[in-house]
């Protein structure tokens, strides 16, 4: 339903966590190179647990390669430099939400092309940024919430008891 883009991710554990979040929400993951790690790296698989095999993931050489293969993509750019708050926009099914690399974010020359769809997570003071995997989870779950958690399991179940026993 949704698409998460990581532009030049550097930390395998973050990408593994994000991959797991994508599987849990039915989102596709798009990785734009160069990557700061190998896709067979142990940390990546450990963070993604046994979910990595279920992940719909595509790797691109660079941003131009991504745009050539996805020319009609509606992209929201998640950045601390944006003026719009992530919860103030309406996320359409099949839209793309892009996040930059951990050390530098999305390059400003790319951001300038997406001024109207640049979004930010509010923070206090001079905090540089949140952890990348946390940021993806915050924004992706807002998009999923806005779309009524479509195709998601909305109720949990106890293994050895029934909720009615609690009454």
What integer pLDDT is reported at residue 48 of this predicted model? 53
CATH number at residue 147: 3.40.1280.10
DSSP three-state, residue 8: coil
Which amino acids are annotated as binding site, given as ranges? 100, 121, 129
Beta strands of the chain (E only): which ranges? 3-7, 28-32, 57-60, 75-78, 84-85, 96-99, 118-120
pLDDT tens digit sequence for 68-112:
999 999 999 999 999 999 999 999 999 999 999 999 999 999 999
Q: How many domains does the chain have?
A: 1
Which amino acids are annotated as binding site for S-adenosyl-L-methionine, given as ranges? 100, 121, 129
What integer pLDDT is reported at residue 90 of this predicted model? 96
pLDDT tens digit sequence for 120-153:
999 998 888 899 999 999 999 999 999 878 787 7
What integer pLDDT is reported at residue 75 of this predicted model? 98
Q: Look up the domain containing 92 and give its range.
A: 3-166
Q: b/e map of 116-147 (b: 16 or more CB within 10 Å)?
A: ebbbbbeeeeeeebeebbebbbebbebbbeeb
pLDDT tens digit sequence for 3-49:
999 999 999 889 989 999 999 999 999 999 999 888 776 666 665 55
The answer to whether the CB of 9 falls within 8 A of the CB of 15 is: yes
Q: What is the pTM of this model?
A: 0.90
What integer pLDDT is reported at residue 47 of this predicted model? 54
């Amino acid at each position: 339903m949704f698409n998460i883009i990581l532009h030049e991710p550097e930390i395998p554990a973050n990408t593994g966590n994000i991959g797991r979040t994508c599987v849990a929400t039915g989102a596709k993951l798009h990785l734009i190179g160069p990557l700061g790690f190998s896709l067979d790296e142990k940390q990546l698989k450990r963070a993604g647990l046994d979910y990595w095999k279920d992940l719909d993931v595509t790797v691109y050489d660079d941003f131009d390669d991504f745009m050539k293969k996805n020319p009609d993509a509606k992209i929201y750019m998640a950045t601390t430099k944006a003026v719009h708050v992530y919860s103030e926009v309406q996320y359409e099914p099949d839209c793309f939400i892009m996040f930059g690399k951990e050390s530098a974010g999305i390059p400003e020359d790319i951001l300038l092309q997406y001024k109207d769809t640049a979004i930010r997570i509010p923070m206090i003071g001079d905090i540089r940024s949140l952890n990348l995997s946390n940021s993806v989870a915050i924004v992706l779950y807002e998009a999923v919430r806005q779309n009524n958690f479509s195709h998601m399991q909305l109720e949990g179940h106890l293994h050895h008891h029934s909720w009615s026993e609690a009454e």
